[in-house]
Amino acid sequence: MPEIEEMTTGNSEPEIFELSPENALFGKYELGRLLGCGAFAKVYHARNIRTGQSVAIKALSKQKILKGGLVPQIKREISIMHRLCHPHIVKLFEVLATKTKIFFVMEFIKGGELFAKVAKGRLNEDLNRRYFQQLIFAVGYCHSHGVFHRDLKPENVLIDESGDLKVTDFGLSAITEQIRDDGMLHTLCGTPAYVAPEILAKKGYDGAKVDIWSCGIILYVLNAGFLPFNDPNLMTMYKKIYRGVFRCPKWFSPELRRLLSRLLDTNPDTRITVNEILHDQWFKKGGFKEVKFHNDEDDFTKKEEQSCNSLNAFDLISFSSGFDLSGLFNSSDKLVNGERFVSAESPERIIEKVEEVGKREGISVRGKKVWMIEMEGQNGNFKVRMEVYRLTENLVVVEVKNGGDVRSGERLWSTKIRPELSSLVYQPETTQVSGDSVAT
């Protein structure tokens, strides 16, 4: 599967183009200098006009995505990044789309790739320990949320201005839903020098175990300045990986050697786990502040509870036919499979309007939870559930589903209720951004 490069790096703050809000991307982001370019994406530095916050915007061509058969991969990457919120993982703020492009708006990491630091020579063991601790915290968090990165390497690890590590590029990641009946993942992916031996065996693998192997390669590279398994001939390198025989430089401490031997264990069943790493002697040396993997009590859970009605980016794309946002509003009157429309009104105002209409039509309206109500009438033949989701800062999506008699419900909905709610439907103005017609 082709890799979509995640180049959200830069060694210095790129110069911002002076753009007026009218000409900015979606009237919200001033685009700056191009940071990187890959086969399917270009990454720019940008600034949020309202807040002044620096962001990285990855622009992907829909045509190339469709031709490359990458639609499932892009949807999965968006879904994965949406569910992850951790101090050592690059944040995805939002996803925007025009008729020809998709834009990932992400956290801008000024310090650059870890690879750039390692390329200058091996790093201090104490600094490497700090980086490795943060890497394990991020990886452990991902695993606890059913996400397996599958392409961990120094190029996909960024260092921010504070010297803290941030994992990025979830384009090749997998989730627990992809695990087959045998309990294994089977997709062959990853970067050759960092790939685990069980992937090469093509018999299925545990996503968490292959991430641990890659972490071991990264730890070795940080301390040695070169790869443990390497050869100009790819097949020869794979044989070395499969055998798992490597040598540690003389400057490696005994504790580091022991940890590496367990990280780079060719048998995934006996390979060290995240929990065991946390209790390793070398890992714990000098103390560390552990970042929780499970969010039972942390702020992320509270944010999730507060935003349980937030529409994620995966849904944003799923709602729009062919990734075209003009398809967000379904003009069909049929309620059999549900109907959605976009509104710039507040959820509270939408609920209030529905209650007003229901009262006039003699329909009972009752709330079941925040931003969701049910309408019932005609002796139970008319049953409609309406739920409001936050789409962007200024827009919401209203989803309507029919739970009663189809004919009765459709007639009452199309002739009485729907016309009353038409004033709530968002009517976007059109502006031009790089030749694309977009909603502002």
pLDDT tens digits, residue range 331-347? 444 444 467 777 888 88
pTM over 0.85: no
pLDDT band at 8 (very low <50, low <70, confident <90, very high): very low
Query: Among the options 126, 151, 280, 296, which is catalytic?
Result: 151
Average pLDDT over residues 283-301: 60
Give the per-residue pLDDT at 405. 61
Is residue 155 situated within a structural domain? yes
Q: What CATH number is associated with residue 151? A: 1.10.510.10
The residue from 69, 95, 110 where one domain ends is 110
Query: How far is CA 356 from its chain centroid?
Result: 39
Helix intervals (H) in 371-424 = 406-412, 418-421
The residue from 298, 322, 338 where one domain ends is 298
Model confidence at 132: pLDDT above 50: yes
β-bridge mates for residue 425, sequence order: 343
Average pLDDT over residues 353-369: 82
pLDDT band at 229 (very low <50, low <70, confident <90, very high): very high
The residue range of the domain holding 1 is 1-110
Is residue 374 situated within a structural domain? yes
Question: Looking up tokens 């009157």, which residue turns up?
Answer: 333
Model confidence at 1: pLDDT above 50: no
Q: CA-to-CA distance for 147 and 138, rounded, in angstroms?
A: 11
Average pLDDT, the chain: 77
Residues 141, 288, single domain; the answer is: yes
Give the per-residue pLDDT at 153. 93
Model confidence at 150: pLDDT above 80: yes
From 177-191, 283-297, 391-405, the region with the lowest mean pLDDT: 283-297
CB 51 within 8 A of CB 66: no
- Cα atoms in the 13 Å half-sphere on the side-chain side of 91: 11
Model confidence at 329: pLDDT above 70: no
Q: Which residue has the higher pLDDT, 423 or 333?
A: 423
Is residue 40 situated within a structural domain? yes
pLDDT tens digits, residue range 39-96? 778 889 999 988 999 999 989 888 888 888 888 788 888 878 877 889 999 998 888 8
The residue from 56, 83, 110 where one domain ends is 110
160 carries an active-site annotation: no
